[in-house]
Structure 1
């Protein structure tokens, strides 16, 4: 009997199955280097410059990283974000060059070279300065090459063959030239002020080179005896100060009070064991801090004798606690706006040599600013009692000396945030030392900078207030460092008067020598070669201090933006981490405003810092570090690039192994979307293209969404905000395309006749989608989109990165249709939910086995279904729409009222070609196992079974 059974026909050859060579598995770590090599061979960067020659210029000026180690994840985020922005501008009608650069001078590099000396037991000071500088130059060059390779591996496209470096001779010459502009304008001067100083590195540090850590200090309460006063009751009293820096006591020259603070004259009546104060002693403290001080001083009972306002204490003078032991000067009480009652005693110990507020008070009232501590952190020999002692180790000795004079009334440990060097990690000190400054007031630099800030577009907007506050309050710019590696301060000063030599001819000879020989010329040459015959070398001192590296990088606009033909001044955009409000953004602002009267940038974008998955600072030693090289080697650079745009990078961002795995999953979904497009566009010809007005509603809705996305991505590019840009594309791919449009149209693409309107419409839309998705994603997934592009057009096709975003017609927008399809998608969601229940209960397998009954009791929802094949949209064999609420047991969703679904089994037989269950199956005697649609299709021209 079995031989009499009809043989089922194989219809696979009649189905238009997807065809693509793009593999499902990306293999990015292996393939990406091949793309890099191909781009280099084809000179892609130069092709982009040629293509953009007549377009509007967009210039992103690269903030230079230090050339002193492998790149870290923060570097990777910064460079990838720059690359995404530059590529996006290039693909939206601009010429967007990218010239990378490196900061090569200064402490980070010098410190590394010194470390090598220390390991060999050598002292860097014993080496010829020019030889030492050559080693620093070689060290920087080595790391430039290494970092360049690492940046290129991330897919960063730029002028890597001709980057800028601050140690190039031409760059050093321009830095010198910029410095001399300040010298000639009178803004450069040598002064003596307390600056942040590293005794370990023996140099001043900029604020940007400082990091703050918790530090245990010795806090002390010190009594200063009053020796002059207008108030009789105070004649035998003592003023109590509180400090966490006992080593500054030898530099004390005044005590500050708050004019509006309430003070009390107190007598110590009862003391606990161990108290350092004597019973019956009278002292002055702020009333608000009396209780806290009494506890520190072990005073158990005390009485208030008198009350005073701070202003009453004018004309009061104290003696230094060590009077009679070399500290014979008076210590006046002075009003200070910086005095508060947040901690201490309400009286501020004032050492003008070792604090900014202290120095300001000293200048205001003519108080001496003594030279107390040398560059190595030791007191000068002329300092009584402490000569030769190191400030880090003198604390106990200071306390003992105060106790000997009965001036130490309290001593304990105090943990607080304290400045440390970002290189040596050692605590810093404020130290009065001769330095070179650029005045914020001479020539109105502060006003120019504040006015310039108002001209700039700050992204995010809060950056404007941040930098404005910093510039408003900042002191004069300290530009000198006591180091060996960097651009020297190439000026001559009169050793007696301090006057700077202002001579254009001398300056021209200096600049010419540096341009020819590099900055080493200043150290290697005889000063006569610069001074010429008009000046006696004996009358002038050649300054050997080194320029702060922030002046170097702040001058890059002059020798990068102004000198390179492919760039513009001012830059369209500066982009760095938020710490650069204090660093590069500000030094560039001050340098350009001081020499050109305006900022060197039109817009400034700041991103946050990279943290580990738990929100902690990245640390290799703590096991929370994650290197970009490891991520690229395991997953590929496109995954790391995807992570950057998936974050809200205006805030601090997190990264960890699980977070990266999430990006791998997102990448897989995007790649599958692109594979679907490729597979179903195989053999697409222009003759298939269907006019938009002939397309079904579903295709017109997809066109509407493309038009919306086109507007969104262009707007977000303008705002440099690629997180919503990417999220919109990602959701479009996985929710609206893969889970909806592709899901619905698979049947038409696979099973419709080759020339059916529905299939032609779908293929036309897939073609339009392909061009848009590949171009929109190209700035982000630089390798994948190139692979997808060539998978469709061949290896000889022009790079996807040479394309422009396709123009999208405004006529594609159809808000009314979009509103209608919002309702349809809501209805479909209820049906899909009901089908999932049936599938979970194993009452159906495929959704095509179902014939849902759809109950709707809302006329607007009913109207939305007019003219639509709901079975096609819900991917079921049939759908019966019934007006009414539906039975209680029907499936419902709370957020879609008025819709209910009962799922029933579809009646009929399963079509062996399209799998629809239909009573039509068997109606065609020639094709008894397929439905009428399929029977007609297999007979049509172009069908594999025809």
Structure 2
């Protein structure tokens, strides 16, 4: 009989025997009501000190250490936070349930520009000048802001069901952390890797500070493009091929022209000198002008510059340009210096002109080539993005508003060269280009490269951090594996690490520089004094103390400059291993770091470089990377699109277990999608899992260990279910070992819905509901249901932390918790792969039978399947394979028998059996309907005491007094 049939209470007979049927009974409700229930469970766990019990239970077990990458304490959690923390929580919980001691210490990143900005916003609202605020007051307000949001985020993480040692959480602004960060800076200082140098760095004119690559995001930006002619004033070619000609460059940054100091060419490229024969009326260039460009780019340059006709005067190898010198196009207006042409391999003939203008203050390649050739690096742009006062023509102009004035000045030069007949100089063309351009991820404003004195950590040299870091990565496991290429390529190609920022809220780079020599003071004793002060007073001690406190009597404070740049927050978070992993219950290196894919250029990399630079090894054994969260259409979430899904909203409407299920049902190795429809689908998946647990609990009412049967006495169907559990046990154990969880919980959901609810439970409901409590078949089924409940609740516990605990305590009492349990150890005896093939065949035959039953139902021949009798024709060579099965029970009909087809089963070209049976015949079952189990059988009425019951049901009812003897 089916569950839907049996719970139908219509009819006097059903009412009469209802109390004799063992229907499921459980306190576990059908509806989870998670938004209300989850906070209740959190309060219950706190009351019972679940975290304390977990710590006690972990004593003496082997360690598993997942080091928490610190989120930024600035605002409510977003969906990316939820994804990351839930993944960590699932991994931690599954390791704990696999026999490990897990001491998860959550952390926060609390320094840096975003918090400064929030505090400054309050100043702006109150019309207060930030620069007038004493630095210690400003830092105190930043600290208070970060502390407020740290507490809020901690509460929100706990609401997501994340388990951790919250009482010993870490933050980068703790005094102990600040002293440790200063100590790590000191390690680089003392080993010689820390130096101050002038180099171009990513600079935000809005935030007035250097930025790390990890603080950059790329957006489309419309740039003014220009071709500019630099007249040659020194021609090294023997035949004077460059006489009267001008080198033409193309750039998307007109504002860098004032900083131009050289032009780069590639010695391996062929160049030409072309003469303009005709030009479009609107062209800036005039006929007769001679231009030097790469041979492969002539047509492209002519099209862009309005050159209608031209002819080639000379063709020459790039090496012939060696020694050539041009004049700056604004010569005579404050730019009276030579512009040498310099060889450089990075120049290509793919776009532009094959000649690259070099502004050493505003580009890494520009800087390297000019420095190598002894060319000065001018500092023309102030920290706010405006040209400094001594910049000829453009003083005070902001670089992002400089395109027009620069182009106007260059156009005037070109017009003058046309009038005088002198070599072309100045503006050759002007256009626009939409391209991907770096922006600050905080202000969302464009950034520039700007050469300023900064503090760097050498990637090469004596410390050889780059080589050692790449070597260390050989011993690191990456999940997914392809992430290895991303991190290794970034480490291999990165420049020296710029760790300084020109801000106030952070850990200062607490070093001294000799005012006379410019040398940084490298003294271990001085460094020890600084670290000791920070340990008791925090980094404020640097701002609140005289330099002599740290320098002591060994040095004259007047001779030393105290550095007030703060360290990059990526250095801070990269140092967390130094002040977290040495705590009790943790260890260095960590077993696992887990963050989003952007952290290959962020925390993964900074942690690696910091640890290798100070300890020679990576701080982690395994790196797991998760993707980003997009909306249902694959778009990035933004308030303007109205597609933001906040975890707090999901908690309040659906419950955090739904959010956790979404995470584990997704392919976290790639970008994930979320939205209302997707969450609705997850809610439906959750409902099915919950129904599985609820039915198990109901069907196990009254079960005791005495009722259980040994494996050898279990029917084949029950043994198959236990075998299937060993498959999932292996799958989960492997996921614990490898941290590769993608696909595990979708497979477990499929098992619950397809193998259990739609098959095993359906087949065994009649046995559970109607067999006598002491029947072997019922005891066998309930033995397996007991195992199923224990396995499913523990396996689901790392994900459905609230629901699984409810499903556990509903059976074992409120003083227990599934989170104190271990994953079950399943006997190897249960593993029987041969049953897979056999039951795959039996279920395939069953599907054929149920298809024919459904056809009979639709035709009106029968109402329910229990009104049917089935004849199953089986090929003679397959009779043994399908015998021994109660096909009436398996197909949920009242009667079934096998007939033999006098032929062998058909096979495909590979010799595999296509199907072991023919088309089943469905007829109306002969007999009367049993009013207890609803089967139609000829035997109904044989018992005079119960004339409306079948023999089995009559026996159960007659001996009802025995039901309590074995449970049920």
- Contact 1:852–1:878 (Cα < 8 Å) also in 2: yes
Moved more, 624-633 or 340-349: 340-349
Find the partner of 2:603 among 571, 584, 595. 584
Q: Distance between the aligned counterparts of 2:824 and 2:915, measured in 1?
A: 37
Identify the residue that residue 863 of structure 2 maps to in structure 1. Answer: 845
Q: How many equivalent pairs are there? A: 931
* 1:941 Cα offset (Å): 4.9
- Contact 2:161–2:802 (Cα < 8 Å) also in 1: yes
Cα-to-partner distance string for 1:472-497 (whole Å, 9 max, x where unaligned): 11100000000010000000011232
Tell me the secondary structure at the aligned position of residue 777 of structure 2.
helix
Tell me the secondary structure at the aligned position of residue 464 of structure 2.
helix
- Contact 1:848–1:917 (Cα < 8 Å) also in 2: yes
Identify the residue that residue 104 of structure 1 maps to in structure 2. Answer: 110
- Contact 1:858–1:898 (Cα < 8 Å) also in 2: no
Q: Distance between the aligned counterparts of 1:298 and 1:57, measured in 2?
A: 71
Q: Distance between the aligned counterparts of 1:832 and 1:305, measured in 2?
A: 87
Identify the residue that residue 348 of structure 2 maps to in structure 1. Answer: 340
Q: Distance between the aligned counterparts of 1:706 and 1:852, measured in 2?
A: 31
Q: Distance between the aligned counterparts of 2:642 and 2:875, measured in 1?
A: 60
- Contact 1:744–1:875 (Cα < 8 Å) also in 2: yes
Identify the residue that residue 25 of structure 2 maps to in structure 1. Answer: 19
Find the partner of 1:875 among 882, 886, 892. 892
- The answer to whether residue 826 in structure 2 is matched with residue 820 in structure 1 is no
Tell me the secondary structure at the aligned position of residue 904 of structure 1.
strand
- Contact 1:108–1:423 (Cα < 8 Å) also in 2: yes
Identify the residue that residue 881 of structure 2 maps to in structure 1. Answer: 864
Q: In structure 2, do the counterparts of structure 1 residues 945 and 505 end up closer, same or farther at CA, with 3 Å as the change threshold?
A: closer
Cα-to-partner distance string for 1:51-73 (whole Å, 9 max, x where unaligned): 11111100111100110100000
Q: Distance between the aligned counterparts of 1:895 and 1:585, measured in 2?
A: 53
- Contact 1:218–1:244 (Cα < 8 Å) also in 2: yes
- The equivalences for 1:656-695 within 5 A come to 656-695=675-714
Identify the residue that residue 434 of structure 1 maps to in structure 2. Answer: 453
Q: Distance between the aligned counterparts of 1:868 and 1:7, measured in 2?
A: 31
Q: Distance between the aligned counterparts of 1:36 and 1:902, measured in 2?
A: 56
- Contact 1:15–1:944 (Cα < 8 Å) also in 2: no
- The answer to whether residue 664 in structure 2 is matched with residue 642 in structure 1 is no
Q: Distance between the aligned counterparts of 1:470 and 1:341, measured in 2?
A: 26
- Contact 1:373–1:431 (Cα < 8 Å) also in 2: yes
Find the partner of 1:777 among 796, 799, 816. 796
- Contact 2:278–2:287 (Cα < 8 Å) also in 1: yes
* 1:295 Cα offset (Å): 1.2
- Contact 1:830–1:896 (Cα < 8 Å) also in 2: no
- The answer to whether residue 778 in structure 2 is matched with residue 759 in structure 1 is yes
- Which ranges of structure 1 fall in alignment gaps of 5 or more residues? 1-5, 887-893
Q: Distance between the aligned counterparts of 1:868 and 1:374, measured in 2?
A: 86
Tell me the secondary structure at the aligned position of residue 452 of structure 1.
helix
TM-score, normalised with respect to structure 1:
0.97
Cα-to-partner distance string for 1:132-180 (whole Å, 9 max, x where unaligned): 0000000000001111111110001111122101000010000000100
Tell me the secondary structure at the aligned position of residue 270 of structure 1.
strand
Identify the residue that residue 672 of structure 2 maps to in structure 1. Answer: 653
Moved more, 422-431 or 379-388: 379-388
- The answer to whether residue 949 in structure 2 is matched with residue 930 in structure 1 is yes
Q: In structure 2, do the counterparts of structure 1 residues 493 and 842 end up closer, same or farther at CA, with 3 Å as the change threshold?
A: farther
Q: In structure 2, do the counterparts of structure 1 residues 348 and 885 end up closer, same or farther at CA, with 3 Å as the change threshold?
A: farther
Q: Distance between the aligned counterparts of 2:427 and 2:24, measured in 1?
A: 87
Q: Distance between the aligned counterparts of 2:364 and 2:615, measured in 1?
A: 30
Identify the residue that residue 487 of structure 1 maps to in structure 2. Answer: 507
Q: In structure 2, do the counterparts of structure 1 residues 345 and 899 end up closer, same or farther at CA, with 3 Å as the change threshold?
A: farther
Q: Distance between the aligned counterparts of 1:933 and 1:662, measured in 2?
A: 43
- The answer to whether residue 53 in structure 2 is matched with residue 47 in structure 1 is yes
- The answer to whether residue 120 in structure 2 is matched with residue 114 in structure 1 is yes
- The answer to whether residue 562 in structure 2 is matched with residue 539 in structure 1 is no
- Contact 2:773–2:963 (Cα < 8 Å) also in 1: no
- Contact 1:195–1:432 (Cα < 8 Å) also in 2: yes
- The answer to whether residue 542 in structure 2 is matched with residue 501 in structure 1 is no
Find the partner of 1:519 among 539, 552, 567. 539
* 1:881 Cα offset (Å): 2.2
Identify the residue that residue 836 of structure 1 maps to in structure 2. Answer: 854
Q: In structure 2, do the counterparts of structure 1 residues 455 and 869 end up closer, same or farther at CA, with 3 Å as the change threshold?
A: same
- The answer to whether residue 495 in structure 2 is matched with residue 475 in structure 1 is yes
Identify the residue that residue 486 of structure 2 maps to in structure 1. Answer: 466
* 1:656 Cα offset (Å): 0.2
- The equivalences for 1:210-221 within 5 A come to 210-221=216-227
Tell me the secondary structure at the aligned position of residue 24 of structure 1.
coil
* 1:10 Cα offset (Å): 1.5
Find the partner of 1:452 among 455, 461, 472. 472
Cα-to-partner distance string for 1:565-608 (whole Å, 9 max, x where unaligned): 02111111000000001000111001100110001111110100
Cα-to-partner distance string for 1:446-483 (whole Å, 9 max, x where unaligned): 11111111111111111111111011111000000000
* 1:512 Cα offset (Å): 1.2
* 1:790 Cα offset (Å): 0.8
* 1:926 Cα offset (Å): 2.1
Identify the residue that residue 265 of structure 2 maps to in structure 1. Answer: 257
Find the partner of 1:241 among 224, 246, 249. 249
Identify the residue that residue 802 of structure 1 maps to in structure 2. Answer: 820
Q: Distance between the aligned counterparts of 1:7 and 1:256, measured in 2?
A: 98
Identify the residue that residue 417 of structure 2 maps to in structure 1. Answer: none
- Contact 1:204–1:482 (Cα < 8 Å) also in 2: yes
* 1:426 Cα offset (Å): 1.1
Q: Distance between the aligned counterparts of 2:915 and 2:378, measured in 1?
A: 79
Q: In structure 2, do the counterparts of structure 1 residues 58 and 7 end up closer, same or farther at CA, with 3 Å as the change threshold?
A: closer
Tell me the secondary structure at the aligned position of residue 405 of structure 1.
helix
Tell me the secondary structure at the aligned position of residue 334 of structure 1.
strand
Give the CA RMSD over aligned residues.
1.6
Find the partner of 1:709 among 724, 728, 733. 728
- The answer to whether residue 304 in structure 2 is matched with residue 296 in structure 1 is yes
* 1:731 Cα offset (Å): 0.8
* 1:336 Cα offset (Å): 1.6
- The answer to whether residue 428 in structure 2 is matched with residue 417 in structure 1 is no
Q: Distance between the aligned counterparts of 1:597 and 1:515, measured in 2?
A: 25
Cα-to-partner distance string for 1:542-582 (whole Å, 9 max, x where unaligned): 001010000110110010111x1021111110000000010
Tell me the secondary structure at the aligned position of residue 166 of structure 2.
coil
Q: In structure 2, do the counterparts of structure 1 residues 226 and 635 end up closer, same or farther at CA, with 3 Å as the change threshold?
A: same
Tell me the secondary structure at the aligned position of residue 267 of structure 1.
strand
Moved more, 518-527 or 381-390: 381-390
- Which ranges of structure 2 fall in alignment gaps of 5 or more residues? 1-11, 415-425, 904-912
Q: Distance between the aligned counterparts of 2:348 and 2:475, measured in 1?
A: 36
Cα-to-partner distance string for 1:659-705 (whole Å, 9 max, x where unaligned): 00001100110011001110111111111111111111000100110
Q: In structure 2, do the counterparts of structure 1 residues 634 and 556 end up closer, same or farther at CA, with 3 Å as the change threshold?
A: same
Q: In structure 2, do the counterparts of structure 1 residues 815 and 297 end up closer, same or farther at CA, with 3 Å as the change threshold?
A: same
Q: Distance between the aligned counterparts of 1:709 and 1:552, measured in 2?
A: 41
Moved more, 583-592 or 13-22: 13-22
Q: Distance between the aligned counterparts of 1:666 and 1:701, measured in 2?
A: 24
Tell me the secondary structure at the aligned position of residue 490 of structure 2.
helix
* 1:942 Cα offset (Å): 4.1
- Contact 1:220–1:408 (Cα < 8 Å) also in 2: yes
* 1:857 Cα offset (Å): 3.4
Find the partner of 2:202 among 192, 196, 202. 196
* 1:898 Cα offset (Å): 4.9
Identify the residue that residue 420 of structure 2 maps to in structure 1. Answer: none
Identify the residue that residue 3 of structure 1 maps to in structure 2. Answer: none
Q: Distance between the aligned counterparts of 1:829 and 1:336, measured in 2?
A: 72
- Contact 1:258–1:336 (Cα < 8 Å) also in 2: yes
Q: Distance between the aligned counterparts of 2:539 and 2:378, measured in 1?
A: 34
Q: Distance between the aligned counterparts of 1:366 and 1:648, measured in 2?
A: 53
* 1:214 Cα offset (Å): 0.4
